Amino acid sequence: MARKLNLRIWRGDATDGGLKNVEVEANEGEVVLDLIHRVQATQMGDLAVRWNCKAGKCGSCSMEINGKPRLACMTQVSSFPEGEEITITPLRAFPVIKDLVTDVSFNYRKAMEIPSYEHPKNLAPGEARMEQIDVERSQEFRKCIECFLCQDVCHVVRDHEENKKSFAGPRFFIRIAELDMHPLDMLKNRKQKAQEEHGLGMCNITKCCTEVCPEHIRITDNAIIPMKERVVDVKYDPVRWLGSKIRKREGIV
Amino acid sequence: MTPLEKLKYDVVVIGAGGAGLRAAVEARAAGLRVAIVCKSLFGKAHTVMAEGGAAASMGNVNEKDNWQVHFRDTMRGGKFLNHYRMAELHAKESPDRIWELEVWGALFDRTKEGKISQRNFGGHEYPRLAHVGDRTGLELIRTMQQRIVALQQQDAKESGNAESHIKVFAELTITEILKENGKIAGAYGYWRENGNEVLFEAPTVIVATGGVGKTFKITSNSWEGTGDGHALALKAGANLVDMEFLQFHPTGMVWPPSVRGILVTESVRGEGGILTNSLNERFMFKYIPEVFKDKYADNDAEADRWYLDQDNNRRPPELLPRDEVSRAINAEVKAGRGTEHGGVYLDVSKRIPADVIKKRLPSMWHQFYELAGVDITKEAMEVGPTCHYVMGGVEVEADTAAAVGVPGLFAAGEVAGGMHGSNRLGGNSLSDLLVFGRRAGMGAVEYAKKNPTATVSEKAIADAAARIEAPFSRAGGENSYSLHAELQEVTHNLVGIIRTGKEVEEAIEKIAAIRARSANVAVAGTRQFNPGFHLAFDLDNMLLVAESTAKSALLREESRGGHTRDDFPGMNSKWRQVNHISSFDGKDVNVKAQPLPPIPKELFDLFDIHELEKYMTPEEIAKGGSN
Amino acid sequence: MATGVFSASRAKIKERTLRTDRWWLQPLITFSVLFSFIIYATFRAFENKYYFAEPLVSPLYSPCLSTACIEGSSPLGQPFNNEYFGIGISPALFILIFPLGFRMTCYYYRKSYYRAFWMSPPACAVAEPHAKYTGETRAPLILQNSHRWFFYAGLVFNVLLTYDAVIAFRNEEKEWGHMSIGTLVLLFSATTLWLYSLSCHTCRHTIGGRLKHFSKHPIRYKTWTWISALNHKHPTFAWISLFGVAFADIYVRQVASGAWTNFYLF
């Protein structure tokens, strides 16, 4: 039943820090967040960690476990072989604040840069009519719990601090896709902005965002690539461009 | 020591869940400057956990639905202890609040005609819950969050500063609501990241802090549900109403520990899940109350037949009302027939083929498989009652959400009391957030216009600062984690789902003892993101809430909705006329009875008189409403 | 100055990755297989023989339209001169521009070779070795946006290669109604190429993905859902079709060089 486990937990802050070994008891059925809480309650009262719902629905307990970006509340202890050490570090793409807590304000700044939904002016509340098949694509992206694991794993910013200025990241590409595919959104230039202002072209579709998404949103296939194709429609496809000038084709502009 | 950060706002909203954000939007629309303060990151509030939907009588699926029907359902659900005016406003306004979300970009599931789809739910006469799969709460909070961002973008365009009117202070704990001359003057708190202190000077404060679940050992609430708003308001001079009413959902997970308290949806039983004890007995047959005997099957064979033929068989006893099932599970565990981890077994695997389970209960299958490593198509779940929602809360004026007795203080959402009476219907919470979030915003606007300035005295600042520093100065004191665990043990065992006068008295004593020790909580480490330090303040709040709950529970000598007294098992019409009002004298929580506002005639007349006879005294019936 | 995971503000961890699994295995396999294919295709493109054995023509040399081609190897004839600046060039070099261009710009292959060849990144949460990164925002990688042009060209090739498979239902005397192992090999190659093309992201976009309202285009929506299902398996089709083409070429080469006999089933 209960077994002893060795954890290596990163402790420190912006100035310095390192991995600290700690032995903790693990019971059947527990997740990594349980272990962290036990360490907190019994050995390191001031160990900093973010968490909320503990049910994989709020996206707060994002960290890196054995080098992989994950939600600690969704990582079963039993998924690690007996005797293996578990290494827990903060997200490595964002500035560290303390221990397992990082400064994720980058994501909130980016959220502010994405133009918001624009409802049709003449459509009063309650008058909107949308077909289920027309809202489903955007609904997939609205499953996002903003754990920012995709932002963390994306090498564009993870490995290149300087790209943070010009790159919105996968979480906001799905936001752009959500709005561009929203049946009623009236804003016209999302595609151009995606390419010119939000750095869609920086993405080289290596799909790590999709791999780490705890909501299993198919970020690359259903949002980023379709957005890249939509950008081609308006920017790199002379035939389509001409067509859109001659007669307004749906989906373009 | 970092100098105190002093900020001036028109409105300070504490809590960034659905109610807080809706209030902020309303205040900003009137041109006020709003600070939104939350303990977590922006967008993580407990609202995300709501699954089923938001109740609003739009009549998209059944045209017969209207606000009157919704009002009736709500009052019935609350066993007529609801504040009638709140239930009325809620029923009337929730459709507009849902439609407005759509204007802000929400994408609800649709009907064939392209309208917002609505689903059936317990206690609602017609399909009424607007929903997005089983993640409606997430949709609601994200929409509100994105609405805030949209307004900030507008402000950036107009004033060059995105935060000129709304600023979100994420990961900031409010430790005190401040008053000067009997009126709200602001709030005091600290940044969780570094412990630096912040003073908000503002003439209005809206508390929208949600629930109190963390007071209990087993709860579906996240760590944030520590009753902060309840306690802060109480200490600021506001009243809490009917704090004895807590909704315990009969089937929360109890094992493995990683998922303790998480809800197991009622549909599991609806689809044929049965409850058994450690002796492998299907125990629910023993717990069918006399009044239900004609509606519920008393043997396996008939219960099984019901799934195939509902007209000629009685329902399985697993489908009794929530309080009955919770009581039964509780009794089995107390009698020593519980599982190893203090629950009972809920099993669908022996009755439904694996592929059908996965098709009908996809999120449940997923939840157990991913969170617990339990395959519900093969093994039984362990379940037990879990603390889900508090019906009690800050006593408010229905129309303005203004806290009674404290000018400038407002409350909305779960932290406000009255709306749901003794028991909340599923789906009424999300619509409650929107309706009363908006009204709290409007109330604050009206008040702030008449009382535009607020200044906090140096003494109040010094006192608040001293209180924050205190835990660090007590070397060798109590550990906040263990005190919290002790409190949870007391509430769980003594003021939990089934109560007796004796146990509640014992709880009151024990809570007082823990509170005495909590004055000596010591914290190790620094102020920098220190969870032990954070818990010290949460603990204070939970202790006050628990005291209020226990004392109210002791007074109410009947069983109604979310309050079950083993020593007073029946519902009593006399008690329906009484609200329990908690107040704080600086030392103890005091509870007194207060008459319920009488229901006006036009609302009284919406009900069948025979139905009202079950709830009201003959004198009330004879009077036929208040005007 | 240190950037990426070694930036001053990030948690101080000296390892490039703390992953404990064999994250290097997948890129290594991808690299080995793709690299082998490139070596083989290059060799074959320059070999300029053994690509036609009546009625079989290698997909690497179809359509063989230059005068340098073996007579009868293309149903479209040989209208183009093969001599440029006095040098005879292997027809495969012209032909391969299109299918290789299609694969080079394919969203799935891009992922594969960016990871396996360019190590950008080698695997998820493994720090890449490059100091700078601009993605597909400038030349030459901005040309990845030409994928749809290659997709259209690829469709033309699919038609031609399907035709090649159909005429392989003849015997060496051009009589219809026969089938050899070679027929099956070409059929397999053509089928997998169709699956690869139809499952492609550009195809999915063109068919319906670009629409804002599916409900106004029910047929395109239906087709889109079908293509979307195929799209899930795009990586699988990408590999299978690569092997299909390579094997078809190997088979034709062995038959044309006389090493193997094309066995007729009937």
What's the CATH code of the domain at A18? 3.10.20.30
Residue A212 domain flag: yes
End-to-end CA distance of chain B: 61
Catalytic-role residue among B83, B230, B260, B269: B269
Q: Are A134 and A157 within one domain? A: yes
| A27, A30, A145: residue with CB nearest B138 | A145
Contact status, residue B77 vs residue B423, Cβ threshold 8 Å = yes
Question: Annotated catalytic, B534?
Answer: no
Residue B92 domain flag: no
* pLDDT per position as a tens digit, A243-253: 777 765 544 44
Higher model confidence: residue A241 or residue B610?
B610
Query: What domain range is C36 assigned to?
Result: 22-127+144-256
Q: Are A112 and A153 within one domain? A: yes
Q: Are A170 and A209 within one domain? A: yes
Chain C residue closest to A89 (CA)?
A: C11
* pLDDT per position as a tens digit, B51-80: 878 999 999 999 999 999 999 999 998 999
Q: Which of A49, A82, A102 is a domain's end point? A: A102
Tallying the residues shown for chain C, one arrives at 266
CATH number at residue A218: 1.10.1060.10
The set of residues, in sequence order, having a beta carbon less than 8 Å from that of B513 and lying 6+ positions away, is none
Q: Are A203 and A223 within one domain? A: yes
Using a CB-CB cut-off of 8 Å, the residues of chain A touching B138 are 57, 142-143, 145
Q: Are A123 and A187 within one domain? A: yes
Q: Are B487 and B375 within one domain? A: no
Residue A251 domain flag: no
Q: For residue B388, how many C-alpha atoms fall within 13 Å in the half-sphere facing its CB?
A: 27
Using a CB-CB cut-off of 8 Å, the residues of chain A touching C233 are none
To the nearest whole Å, the CA of A115 is away from the closest chain B CA by 8
Q: What is the pTM of this model?
A: 0.93
Cα angle C204, C207, C212; round to 5: 95
Query: What domain range is A51 assigned to?
Result: 3-102
Residue A74 domain flag: yes
Q: Are B374 and B257 within one domain? A: yes
- What's the structural domain count of chain B? 2
CB–CB of C19 and A68 under 8 A? yes
Range B434-455 average pLDDT:
97
Chain A residue closest to C232 (CA)?
A: A221
| Summary mean pLDDT of chain B | 92
Q: Which of B339, B368, B387 is a domain's end point? A: B387
Q: Are A90 and A43 within one domain? A: yes
Q: Are A178 and A130 within one domain? A: yes
Question: Annotated catalytic, B135?
Answer: no
Q: Which of residues 196-235 of A touch B (CB under 8 A)?
A: none
Confidence of residue B331 (pLDDT cuts 50, 70, 90): confident
Confidence of residue C82 (pLDDT cuts 50, 70, 90): low
Using a CB–CB cutoff of 8 Å, tell me whether B477 touches chain A.
no
Q: Are A32 and A61 within one domain? A: yes
Q: Quote the distance between the C-alpha of residue B448 and its chain's center.
A: 28
Residue B519 domain flag: yes
| Summary mean pLDDT of chain C | 93
Which subunits sit against C, judged by 3+ Cβ pairs under 8 A?
A
Residue B531 domain flag: yes
Using a CB-CB cut-off of 8 Å, the residues of chain A touching B44 are 52-53, 58-60, 146
CB–CB of C18 and A64 under 8 A? yes
CB–CB of C5 and A16 under 8 A? no
Q: Is the pLDDT of residue C37 over 80?
A: yes
Confidence of residue C6 (pLDDT cuts 50, 70, 90): very high
Contact status, residue B573 vs residue B596, Cβ threshold 8 Å = no
Residue B311 domain flag: yes
Q: Are A115 and A195 within one domain? A: yes
CATH number at residue B551: 1.20.58.100
Residue A214 domain flag: yes
Using a CB–CB cutoff of 8 Å, tell me whether B30 touches chain A.
no
* pLDDT per position as a tens digit, B507-538: 999 999 999 999 999 988 889 888 889 999 99
Using a CB–CB cutoff of 8 Å, tell me whether A43 touches chain B.
no
- What's the structural domain count of chain A? 2
| B42, B370, B371: residue with CB nearest A108 | B42
CB–CB of A202 and C110 under 8 A? no
Q: Are A139 and A220 within one domain? A: yes
Q: Are A115 and A208 within one domain? A: yes
pLDDT of residue B627: 58
Residue B86 domain flag: no
Q: Are A25 and A66 within one domain? A: yes
Using a CB–CB cutoff of 8 Å, tell me whether A104 touches chain B.
yes
The ipTM of this complex is 0.94
Residue B304 domain flag: yes
CB–CB of A98 and B152 under 8 A? no
- What's the structural domain count of chain C? 1
Q: Which of A80, A102, A124 is a domain's end point? A: A102
Which subunits sit against A, judged by 3+ Cβ pairs under 8 A?
B, C
CA distances from B399 to A211, B22, B66, B410, B528 (A): 49, 16, 20, 11, 41
Q: Which of A79, A102, A125 is a domain's end point? A: A102
pLDDT of residue B1: 61
pLDDT of residue C1: 58
Residue B456 domain flag: no
| C3, C12, C212: residue with CB nearest A17 | C12
Confidence of residue B262 (pLDDT cuts 50, 70, 90): confident
Query: What domain range is B278 assigned to?
Result: 250-387
Segment among B250-264, B272-286, C196-210 with least mean pLDDT:
B250-264
Residue C10 domain flag: no
Taking the C-alpha atoms of residue B208 and residue B53, their distance in angstroms, rounded to an integer, is: 20
Chain A residue closest to B370 (CA)?
A: A74
Higher model confidence: residue B282 or residue B123?
B282
Q: B592: exposed, middle or buried (C-beta count within 10 Å: 0-12, 13-18, 19+)? A: middle
Higher model confidence: residue B319 or residue C152?
C152
Size of interface A-C (CB pairs under 8 A): 170
For residue B139, give the H/E element and its range. helix B136-159
How much of chain C exceeds pLDDT 90, in percent?
82
Residue B74 domain flag: no
